Amino acid sequence: MKIGILTIGNELTTGRIHDTNSAFIAASLNALGWQVTLAMAVGDDNDSIKKGLDYILALSDAVVVTGGLGPTADDMTTAAIAKAYGLDLYTDEDVLQEIKSRFERYRIEWTPNNAKQAMFPVGARPIYNPTGTAWGFALRTAGKLITVIPGVPSEVKRMFPEGVLPLLKDLQPGSREFVLSRTIKLFGLSEAKVDQTVTELKLRIPGISIGFYPRFPENHLVLTSRGPSEENVRKNLAKAERRVTEALRKYIFGYDNETLDGIVASLLTQKKRTLAVAESCTGGLIADRLTNIPGSSLFLERGIITYSNESKIQLLGVPAEIIEKFGAVSEEVALLMAEGVRKLAVTDIGIAVTGIAGPAGGTDSKPVGTVYIALADGTKSFSRLFHFRWERRRVKEISAQWALEMLRRYLTEEGPDGR
């Protein structure tokens, strides 16, 4: 079944808000195996609404409309749809009573413009709003279904699954497609290389499609499995996941809703290891990411942001001569920082980053984007050198990501030397 989305409101065409409803609705429809033909946003304007509906319904079996159902003069969705299909408006007395009783219950003064919210095109069926006063409605026209709900995201999150989805399911009774999907999260391999590897896999498994989503600095692959038999859909998905995992194992850090911060935090917690962080060019971003995870105080003892050479010498015990000889951005200093912060904090692991985030500070031998990341555990220390392109903020982001990835590989023993 093909379904389109029409979002209505001047706040969308003037860019005052980001439309989050379309993505929510599209994801819900996609998960049920239905195809979203398109999502269109138009202003509060009769002609745009009518033309948009016509265009979407020419390509779709149904349309989900959001927005423009409030009590104010610029909320004109109901009237525009009635006009578009030559229908009169009527007041639903039951809905009107429900809205009035809601005003009483919340002790809000009733103003006559609210009665507008109980008016619907003749032939429409009202859709209950559990959290607000703007009811929605559904209308069948020329074999197609139009459903209309308000645009407030919290109301969409209730009314779409509770009021709209059952009507869409009724449109297509009987045999339905099963759909399952799995997100594979990768880091450390370029977008083009991930694509090339997946293409070369020649993954010809029935009902399987692969979506590719770069999320700097990560790349996400989404495997979707569709078909009439739930068992086969599940089997095919598992098969596809196995083949992709075999080909890209080294670069996969997690699946579905997992995050790299969360995975590193879980590993440290499970293994009862403590951590101290010494950051130069990342400026606190590694510690910031780890402390986003509830319970991070169990493993993160402290972080030191050594922006000055003096702080590297004083707190981490890096000898001034070493900084003088090799430079603050060097393998020698990175290793001593990791070892130094571990000793200072008396933790199992120390991790350190030193680099040139730019835009200034680069030299011919050490251009902007040169970053050393080191890890020390009291028995051994190792470091890696990176050359990043990107501007300052992205150098910070990818450096922090690599530090966490080196920790993950070290903790899982996939790359005990951080590689």
Q: Do 65 and 146 meet the contact criterion of CB atoms below 8 Å apart? A: yes
Report the nearest approach of a second copy to the CB of residue 122 (Å). Answer: 26
Which one, 12 or 334, has the nearer CB to a second copy?
12
Query: Mapping DSSP to helix (H, G, I), strand (E, B) and coil, where does residue 17 land?
Result: coil
Which of 91, 131, 229, 270: binder of a second copy (CB under 8 A)? 131
Which one, 48 or 172, has the nearer CB to a second copy?
48
- Angstrom distances, CA of residue 228 to CA of 179, 180, 204, 207: 9, 12, 18, 10
170 near a second copy (CB under 8 A): no
What does the block give as tokens for 297?
Answer: 């105080």
Report the nearest approach of a second copy to the CB of residue 226 (Å). Answer: 12
Report the nearest approach of a second copy to the CB of residue 125 (Å). Answer: 25
Query: What residues numbered 202-221 form the site for a second copy, per CB under 8 A?
Result: 211-214, 216
Tokens 């749809």 belong to 81
Query: Which one, of 98, 139, 150, 95, lies nearest residue 118 by Cα?
Result: 95
DSSP letter at 112?
A: G
416 near a second copy (CB under 8 A): no
305 near a second copy (CB under 8 A): yes
Which of 41, 82, 240, 268: binder of a second copy (CB under 8 A)? 41
Which one, 87 or 305, has the nearer CB to a second copy?
305
Query: What residues numbered 50-79 form the site for a second copy, per CB under 8 A?
Result: 51-52, 55, 59, 70-74
Backbone Cα Rg of the chain: 28
Which one, 17 or 320, has the nearer CB to a second copy?
17
98 near a second copy (CB under 8 A): no
Phi and psi at residue 366, to the nearest 5°: -130, 80
Which one, 101 or 122, has the nearer CB to a second copy?
101
Which of 192, 249, 272, 379: binder of a second copy (CB under 8 A)? 192
Report the nearest approach of a second copy to the CB of residue 406 (Å). Answer: 18
Which of 93, 105, 175, 321: binder of a second copy (CB under 8 A)? 105
- The verdict on whether omega for the bond into residue 153 sits within 30 degrees of 0, i.e. cis, is no
Query: Which one, of 74, 76, 49, lies nearest residue 63 by Cα?
Result: 49
Query: What residues numbered 9-38 form the site for a second copy, per CB under 8 A?
Result: 10-20, 22-30, 35-38
Which of 62, 358, 409, 418: binder of a second copy (CB under 8 A)? 358
Q: Do 277 and 349 meet the contact criterion of CB atoms below 8 Å apart? A: no
Query: Of the listed pieces 135-143, 253-261, 357-365, 404-412, which binds a second copy according to CB under 8 A?
Result: 357-365
Report the nearest approach of a second copy to the CB of residue 124 (Å). Answer: 23
Enumerate helices (H) and strands (E) in the chain, giving the number of each: 15, 17
Query: What residues numbered 370-399 form the site for a second copy, per CB under 8 A?
Result: 387-394, 396
Query: What residues numbered 237-276 form the site for a second copy, per CB under 8 A?
Result: none
Which of 119, 124, 248, 345: binder of a second copy (CB under 8 A)? 345
Burial of 289 (0-12, 13-18, 19+ CB in 10 A): buried
Query: Of the listed pieces 108-116, 234-242, 246-254, 260-268, which binds a second copy according to CB under 8 A?
Result: 108-116
122 near a second copy (CB under 8 A): no
- CB burial string 259-286: b at 16+ within 10 A, e below: bbbbbbbebbeeeebbbbbbbbbbbbbb
DSSP letter at 281?
A: T
Which of 127, 168, 268, 290: binder of a second copy (CB under 8 A)? 290
Q: Give Cβ neighbours of residue 171 (< 8 Å, ≥ 6 apart).
A: 1, 61, 62, 145
236 near a second copy (CB under 8 A): no
Compute the half-sphere exposure of residue 208: CA atoms within 13 Å on the CB side of its CA.
23
> In whole angstroms, what is the distance from residue 240 CA to residue 201 CA?
10
